[in-house]
């Protein structure tokens, strides 16, 4: 049995797809086992996220991994997707072959809880979308916290934001859900914008990936076209692959610099709603260090590993 048993909850999404490719290769290396996956609304609708997750796993030869449907809307907030970045279908409008696996109908929170109980505390939960599914699971099953080893997220930021000046998309999309996760009692590893924007891929690195003939390289080449045009229009000279970070951190934390801190979510502020507030630099601490705030990455080792993992996916 591998050292890491993971569950991936995604709003699949272009960089969620890259994260799935990395996870598939890490599983093939024997370093992780993917126990299950679930889909949530966020970058795209739940319907697209569910289909995309199933189809990407199918293309990677991982159709045996069960994928469960989750929330179609945030707990309280209105649903706003990010079609301007990820395309209407979440994958830059690229249509993938349908997964041969029968579609699961059990809801994400029920399946996650069952898996966590069976794993007896070994399960690591990776969230690369809004936290709605996880929050529903914690509310429905108050003892879930006993069964999760840790939660690793792409989300938040110690400094700044992308969807507003103060908030990162995944947290802003459902701040009430993120608040439940940070208050759950399970330790959170927060790969926020502070680190995910540092792991940028430059054009020559993108070209290297595009030359690969594996499923991962082809998926990357095709699904990133739409968002690369958006990044260019924003004056960003490369591509951020945010969601890859919590997956790589799980196995290779030595690539990263991180600090323990208390982190909670602003749910009320009218210009700061969705901000992750961390107490690293203040005099008055929160009194609890519920999170590992990931702040920096060795970019060269990160992109080398990312390219290797895409090149290791099946043909």
Q: Interface residues with ligand RIB (CB under 6 A)?
A: 13, 15-16, 42-43, 128-129, 154, 162, 168-170, 242-243
Shortest distance, position 86 Cβ to Ca ion, whole Å: 8
Residues in region 228-267 near Ca ion by CB under 5 A: 243
Q: Which does 168 bind (CB under 5 to 8 A by kind): Ca ion, ligand RIB, none?
A: ligand RIB
Q: What is the per-residue binding string for Ca ion in 90-129, x denoting contact by CB under 5 A?
A: --------------------------------------xx
Shortest distance, position 11 Cβ to ligand RIB, whole Å: 6
Which residues are within 8 A (CB) of 38 and not within 5 positions of it... i.e. 6 or more apart?
7, 8, 9, 10, 53, 67, 68, 69, 70, 108, 111, 112, 133
Q: Which does 169 bind (CB under 5 to 8 A by kind): Ca ion, ligand RIB, none?
A: ligand RIB
- The reply to whether 187 belongs to the active site is no
Of the pair 25, 128, the CB lying nearest ligand RIB is at 128
Of the pair 168, 174, the CB lying nearest ligand RIB is at 168
Of the pair 147, 209, the CB lying nearest ligand RIB is at 209
Residue number with the smallest Cβ distance to ligand RIB: 169
Q: Side-chain half-sphere of 59: how many Cα atoms within 13 Å? A: 22
User: Judged by CB under 5 A, does residue 16 bind Ca ion?
Assistant: yes
Q: Cβ of 224: how many Cβ atoms within 10 Å?
A: 25
Shortest distance, position 153 Cβ to Ca ion, whole Å: 10
User: Judged by CB under 5 A, does residue 194 bind Ca ion?
Assistant: no
Phi then psi for residue 177, to 5 deg, are -70, -40
Residues in region 26-85 near Ca ion by CB under 5 A: 43
Do 304 and 208 contact (CB within 8 A), yes or no?
no
Of the pair 75, 241, the CB lying nearest ligand RIB is at 241
Q: What is the per-residue binding string for Ca ion in 126-145, x denoting contact by CB under 5 A?
A: --xx----------------
Q: Which does 194 bind (CB under 5 to 8 A by kind): ligand RIB, Ca ion, none?
A: none
Nearest alpha-carbon partner for 225 in 56, 86, 129: 86
Of the pair 16, 174, the CB lying nearest ligand RIB is at 16
Active site residues: 242
Q: Tell me which residues touch Ca ion (CB under 5 A).
A: 11, 13, 16, 43, 128-129, 243
């Amino acid at each position: 049995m591998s050292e890491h048993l993971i569950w991936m909850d995604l709003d699949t999404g272009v960089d969620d797809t890259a994260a799935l490719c990395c996870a598939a290769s890490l599983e093939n290396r024997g370093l992780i086992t993917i126990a299950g996956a679930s889909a949530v609304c966020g970058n795209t609708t739940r319907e697209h996220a569910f289909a995309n997750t199933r189809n990407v796993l199918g293309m990677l030869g991982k159709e045996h991994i069960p994928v469960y449907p989750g929330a179609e809307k945030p707990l309280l907030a209105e649903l706003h997707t990010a079609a301007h970045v990820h395309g209407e279908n979440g994958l830059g409008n690229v249509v993938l072959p349908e997964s041969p696996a029968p579609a699961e109908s059990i809801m994400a929170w029920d399946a996650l809880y069952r898996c966590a109980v069976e794993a007896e505390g070994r399960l690591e939960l990776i969230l690369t979308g809004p936290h709605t599914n996880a929050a529903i699971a914690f509310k429905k099953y108050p003892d879930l916290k006993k069964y999760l080893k840790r939660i690793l997220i792409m989300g938040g930021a110690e400094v700044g934001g992308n969807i507003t000046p103060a908030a990162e998309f995944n947290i802003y999309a459902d701040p009430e859900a993120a608040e439940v996760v940070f208050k759950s009692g399970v330790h959170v590893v927060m790969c926020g914008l502070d680190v995910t924007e540092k792991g940028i891929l430059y054009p020559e690195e993108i070209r290297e990936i595009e030359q690969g003939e594996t499923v991962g390289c082809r998926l990357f080449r095709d699904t990133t076209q739409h968002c690369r045009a958006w990044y260019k229009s924003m004056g960003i000279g490369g591509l951020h692959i945010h969601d890859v970070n919590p997956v790589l951190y799980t196995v290779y934390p030595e690539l990263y610099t991180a600090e323990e801190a208390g982190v909670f979510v602003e749910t009320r502020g009218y210009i700061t709603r969705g901000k992750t507030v961390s107490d690293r630099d203040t005099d008055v601490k929160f009194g609890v260090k519920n999170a590992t705030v990931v702040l920096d990455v060795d970019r060269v080792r990160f992109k080398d590993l990312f390219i290797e993992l895409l090149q290791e996916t099946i043909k």
